[in-house]
Structure 1
Amino acid sequence: MDAEPATTGPAGLIARLRARLAGGSSEASLTRRLAGTIFIIRVISAGLAYISQVLLARWMGTSDYGIYVYVWTWVLLLGSMLDFGISASAQKIIPEYRTRAEHALLRGFLSGSRWLTFAASALVSLGLAGIVRLASPWLDPAEVLPLYIGCMTLPAFVVANTQDGIARSHDWMQLGLMPQFIIRQALIIGITACAFLLGYHIGAVAAMVASAGAVWIAMTGQMVVLNRKLADHIEPGPKAYDVGGWLAVSLPILLVESFYLLLSYTDVLVLQQFRPSDEVGVYFAVVKTLALVSFIHYAMSATTAHRFAEYNASGDKARLSAYVTHAINWTFWPSLAATIVLLAFGKPLLWLFGPQFTVGYDIMFVAAIGLVVRSAIGPVERLLNMLGQQKICALAYALAFVMNVVLCIALVPRYGGHGAAAATSISLSFETVLLFWIVRRRLGLHVLAFGKSTN
């Protein structure tokens, strides 16, 4: 093992974690090392996000903060969907092109995918701005300008997601994730803090301007570095563009990703429709506090997806099965431990947002149930997507999403945040059971942390 790096700061922390998790040259140790890198990036990001959300909540008040949360949730939701699933399918397409030595198609995808997602998202953003204009008489006047700014943010957000998928497919985890999760959060803090110190009012509009600027700056810097690394890694040559083939792979994955995102954000969006903005702010603080659990699942998903595709393309089923078991175990047990710690310290963490936010402590216990249940099967949605089972996976997410919408509409008007958390946990549990059954029937794998995978 290499000597432990002596550097400090986020980069040094990531390097030390990678060194400690590297137990050898096997796929398992590499996965732990890369997943550890991703996890620590998300933890640092969570810390920065916590600081930014705490500052914004205190500077803006619960009402303006609730509006900002509502608009930013739409940016996160739409921005993650408008790439047509290419950010996720990159982890299938790139390994397959490399395995088959289709270098022209590989070069075409690395550049063409970003141009495609930028052009499409820019057109959609213009259309959404038009919808906001037409709907403005029925919207809260305080929401209109933040929504316009959100539309301006979308193209950069989408391209950043696409570049993230490309970087992860080359195991460049820091390049894929740090611009979005660390640099962007640091910029939001810096821009809003400067505005506050200069005496500007920090409302929903100012917060969205800071967020939009942070997204564009981080995406541009990521693009410059990614282009340089690709130039060193990929030999120059002719490019071929199989846009139809890319979309044939990506659109079914988009369905999966879209229903997953809808399932993730339905609670906040429905809560905004039925309850006051201050309740939305409290609920969002609860979700942010529990985010560490989701980071573990995200880290394993981001690390394993392109290897699922690679092992399947090479026909190595035994290697794939063992790798799936490893991914599940390294998702569930750390998630369970993180949940216990967060619930133990939940009230003081919520207090950081402001004393009024501690009323959401009870909601944490309800929301945590679904996250723990989902972690018990690991990143199996990525496994299904990479092995050509996108449609059945999308159906499972669609059913869970419909259940979540129905339950949210039934429970939120009466129970508020408690109802939203209960609806989401029930839906996540239902989704987990469906995915377990699908993988068992379609792939012959027992994808549960309490069992062994078998062919």
Structure 2
Amino acid sequence: MAVCQTAGRMLPSALRHRLSDSVQRLLPVLTGSDTRSRAQRMALIAFAIRILSAAIAFASQIFLARLMGEFEYGIFIFVWVMTVLFGNLSCLGLPTAVIRFLPEYSTTSELAEIRGLTTTARIFALLSATALAAIGAAGLWLFGTAIESYYFVPLYLGLITLPMIALGDVMDGTARAHSWPVAAMSPTFLVRPLLILAFMVLATVAGLPSAATTAMAAALAATYVTTLGQFAIMVWRLDRHYLPGPMKIELSRWLRVSIPIFLVDGFGFLLTNSDVVIVGLYVKPDDVAIYFAAAKTMALVHFVMFAVRAAAGPRFSAAMAARDRHQLAEIAIESARWSFWPSLAIGCTVVLAGPLLLSLFGPAFPAGAPLMAILLTGILAKAFVGPAETLLTMAGRQKLCVILYVAALGANVALNVTLIPLFGLTGAASATAGAMFVEAAILHVAVRHTFGFTLLALAGARSGHDENEAIKP
């Protein structure tokens, strides 16, 4: 502290006062113990992790693209996106159910239910992911002749990876439910990408080809090491946090919540990733690589929404438990503002730097620069309504979310299938942006109808009706 004070006295007076004001505003967030401070602290940590994660992911994808070339990189991206997609879906919504129920159990000190929930979620996710992998392997064996030969081995490696992705998702949800953002996000967003890169470098140094099969093997090894390490750490922390004792398993209750969440997340994941999958079905791996590089570069904007959503969920749940409609509206609209304005600033900067950023992937990749501007319009439309889907999910409106996502996914698939054959990658970007506009509009109407207030970045906290059916007992 003395060093900081000495350094502060060395700064110009105007700058010192400005920094002092910023530090004074930040200190309550860093040291406060109330719900708001904890949520803001979690958001800051999540934001920092996402910034670092985006940098690591961007650098690693550049390295892999240059190392493998467009064709092999496109194969790897297509398979890895599907692996992560189905790995997340195989959990059947249990990670979000953990986030939904665990704070409730902690508030009422229902330790037996906590033990039962955390244990059952792990086992269930592993078993369901293994079953899905077995079905996928059988499908590859039966219909392998209909698949391009260069996809065959990477797809098998992806299937072997599924159980660990599912287990990692449950560990992520458990850590989020305890407001442990570092334990929740660093394994998936920091450790695993670095290990994929490290294992790929080791493989090529050992003489293995710089091919998609090698990259998928590196991803498989990295996923197993990361998830098992996260599992060991989380078990240790939970054992310290809760005393040993009996477990109470309410699987039917959890599944009644998790299955609709599974449908919501499923359609949400499909909505997010269907463009890459459909592009992979229609075009060659080279074009898949270019499209993914453009989309991955725009992912620098997505981390704003991710960070806000990570912090908003527990705050929504607490406001609903307190049946405080005004507080809920304030939190929701504040979250929308924190989603939109940073997304706008970062998005415009990324688009302007697009040709330069894409050239880092290789000489063929700047062709994807126009796609970035198209994708940004859709991202901003989603950011304008903030974490609306999180708000609906925390309020128990999973079935409504399913209907909304079915409509949005239908629009997404229809636009992709129509526009990609006509306009290629431009059609894919336009379809994705159009689907985001549809999704944002539907979510806005749903929140207005369900909660009675307007969830927009420019809305006032008191806008809307006086009643809110979602927080009635």
Smaller-chain TM-score bracket: over 0.9
The farther-off stretch of 117-126 and 311-320 is 311-320
In 2, Cα distance between the equivalents of 1:56 and 1:310?
A: 43
Map Cα deviations across residues 139-183 of structure 1 (whole Å, 9 max, x no partner).
111101000000000000011011100101101000011111101
- State whether structure 2 residue 185 is matched by structure 1 residue 185: no
Q: Is the 8 A contact 1:156 1:215 kept in 2?
A: yes
Q: Is the 8 A contact 2:102 2:177 kept in 1?
A: yes
For residue 126 of structure 1, what is the aligned residue in structure 2? 134
How far 1:382 sits from its partner (Å)? 0.6
Change (3 A) 1:23 1:317: farther
- Greater radius of gyration (CA): 2
- State whether structure 2 residue 64 is matched by structure 1 residue 70: no
Among 399, 402, 409, the residue aligned to 2:417? 409
**Partner SS, residue 22 of structure 1:** helix
For residue 36 of structure 1, what is the aligned residue in structure 2? 44
In 1, Cα distance between the equivalents of 2:108 and 2:327?
A: 19
For residue 57 of structure 2, what is the aligned residue in structure 1? 49
Among 137, 158, 165, the residue aligned to 1:150? 158
For residue 366 of structure 1, what is the aligned residue in structure 2? 374
- State whether structure 2 residue 168 is matched by structure 1 residue 160: yes
In 1, Cα distance between the equivalents of 2:129 and 2:229?
A: 19
**Partner SS, residue 364 of structure 2:** helix
In 1, Cα distance between the equivalents of 2:33 and 2:249?
A: 35
For residue 320 of structure 1, what is the aligned residue in structure 2? 328
**Partner SS, residue 89 of structure 2:** coil
In the TM superposition, 1:322-337 aligns within 5 A as 322-337=330-345
Q: Is the 8 A contact 1:260 1:397 kept in 2?
A: yes
The farther-off stretch of 404-413 and 99-108 is 99-108
The one-letter amino acid of 2:337's match is N
Runs of 5+ unmatched residues, structure 2: 5-24, 467-473
For residue 349 of structure 2, what is the aligned residue in structure 1? 341
Q: Is the 8 A contact 1:400 1:430 kept in 2?
A: yes
How far 1:23 sits from its partner (Å)? 7.9
The one-letter amino acid of 2:370's match is D
For residue 204 of structure 1, what is the aligned residue in structure 2? 212
For residue 11 of structure 1, what is the aligned residue in structure 2? none
Change (3 A) 1:21 1:280: farther
Change (3 A) 1:3 1:265: farther
In 2, Cα distance between the equivalents of 1:166 and 1:266?
A: 27
How far 1:323 sits from its partner (Å)? 1.6
Q: Is the 8 A contact 1:96 1:310 kept in 2?
A: no
**Partner SS, residue 290 of structure 1:** helix
How far 1:311 sits from its partner (Å)? 2.4
In 2, Cα distance between the equivalents of 1:335 and 1:105?
A: 39
Q: Sequence identity of aligned pairs in percent? A: 34
How far 1:453 sits from its partner (Å)? 3.0
In 2, Cα distance between the equivalents of 1:312 and 1:348?
A: 46
Q: Is the 8 A contact 1:28 1:326 kept in 2?
A: no
- State whether structure 2 residue 454 is matched by structure 1 residue 446: yes
**Partner SS, residue 354 of structure 1:** coil
For residue 290 of structure 1, what is the aligned residue in structure 2? 298
Q: Is the 8 A contact 2:39 2:314 kept in 1?
A: no
How far 1:99 sits from its partner (Å)? 2.6
For residue 89 of structure 2, what is the aligned residue in structure 1? 81
For residue 7 of structure 1, what is the aligned residue in structure 2? none
In 2, Cα distance between the equivalents of 1:86 and 1:18?
A: 35
The one-letter amino acid of 2:298's match is L
For residue 10 of structure 1, what is the aligned residue in structure 2? none
The one-letter amino acid of 1:181's match is F
How far 1:2 sits from its partner (Å)? 12
In 1, Cα distance between the equivalents of 2:301 and 2:31?
A: 24
The one-letter amino acid of 1:398's match is V
The farther-off stretch of 179-188 and 309-318 is 309-318
How far 1:320 sits from its partner (Å)? 2.2
The farther-off stretch of 304-313 and 253-262 is 304-313
Equivalent residues, number: 443
Map Cα deviations across residues 386-442 of structure 1 (whole Å, 9 max, x no partner).
101111111111101001111101100121111111111111111111111111111
Q: Is the 8 A contact 2:334 2:457 kept in 1?
A: no
Among 227, 230, 247, the residue aligned to 2:238? 230
Runs of 5+ unmatched residues, structure 1: 5-16
For residue 287 of structure 2, what is the aligned residue in structure 1? 279
In 2, Cα distance between the equivalents of 1:255 and 1:248?
A: 12
Q: Is the 8 A contact 1:283 1:417 kept in 2?
A: yes
